[in-house]
């Protein structure tokens, strides 16, 4: 986990402060940013090239950071983008995340986009059911290529063979392959891994 640079302005604008004249230490705010609501965040490595700034204030059920100002609830990521760019988010536009971390408020992880842009970004990153951009020749991730796969094509064949010939129970197979009985049942019924032929 990396810390946020000491010279980063604490308002969350993404700008860097200058050293204090007497102490030489970085100032907390860029001149004129003291009255902006400071972002409450911590830096975390989340697999993106630069650390995410994770909102540590209130988190909505949707996973986005929120705060209330003048009795109005604001989305922290939208506010962070506005503060950095010095203008409000245009009507009908979304603030999307390059890093896919909803609670991230780091300005360079955020981009302005439409709802369609957000959907295409999700499809490109295989974050939607079925994955892949519509009309793409790239196949949908399935089987052991799927990021959540616990079984391989070989283990699926072995499960089906052992169940059919050795009468090994679903419970025992689930225990051996570290999956649920339901996962074993779906393999046997071919509701999952149906692309694997015996």
Domain ranges of the chain: 1-136, 143-189
Going residue by residue through the chain (198 aa), what tens digit of pLDDT does each one get? 344 566 777 666 656 777 877 888 888 777 766 655 555 666 666 666 778 888 877 888 888 888 887 788 889 899 889 888 889 999 999 999 988 888 888 888 999 999 999 888 877 776 665 555 444 444 556 676 665 678 888 889 999 999 999 988 999 999 988 889 999 999 999 988 888 887
- Hey, what's the torsion of the CAs at 107, 108, 114, 115, to 10 degrees? -80
Q: Which of 154, 132, 129 is nearest to 143 (CA)?
A: 154
What pTM value is reported for the model? Answer: 0.49
Sign, CA dihedral 85-90-95-96, equals negative
């Amino acid at each position: 986990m990396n810390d946020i640079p000491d010279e980063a302005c604490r308002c969350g604008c993404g700008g860097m402060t200058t050293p204090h004249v007497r102490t030489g230490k970085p100032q907390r705010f860029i001149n004129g940013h003291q009255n902006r609501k400071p972002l409450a965040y911590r830096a975390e490595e989340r697999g993106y090239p630069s650390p995410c700034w994770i909102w540590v204030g209130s988190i909505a059920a949707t996973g986005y950071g929120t705060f209330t100002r003048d009795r109005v609830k604001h989305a922290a990521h939208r506010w962070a983008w506005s503060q950095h760019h010095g203008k409000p988010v245009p009507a009908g536009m979304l603030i999307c995340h390059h890093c896919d971390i909803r609670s991230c408020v780091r300005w360079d992880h955020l981009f302005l986009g439409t709802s369609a842009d957000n959907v295409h970004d999700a499809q490109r990153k295989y974050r939607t059911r079925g994955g892949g951009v519509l009309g793409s020749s790239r196949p949908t991730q399935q089987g052991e290529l799927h990021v959540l796969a616990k079984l391989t094509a070989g283990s699926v064949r072995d499960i089906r063979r052992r169940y059919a010939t050795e009468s090994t129970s679903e419970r025992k197979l689930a225990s051996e392959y570290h999956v649920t009985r339901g996962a074993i049942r779906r393999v046997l019924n071919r509701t999952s891994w149906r692309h694997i032929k015996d």
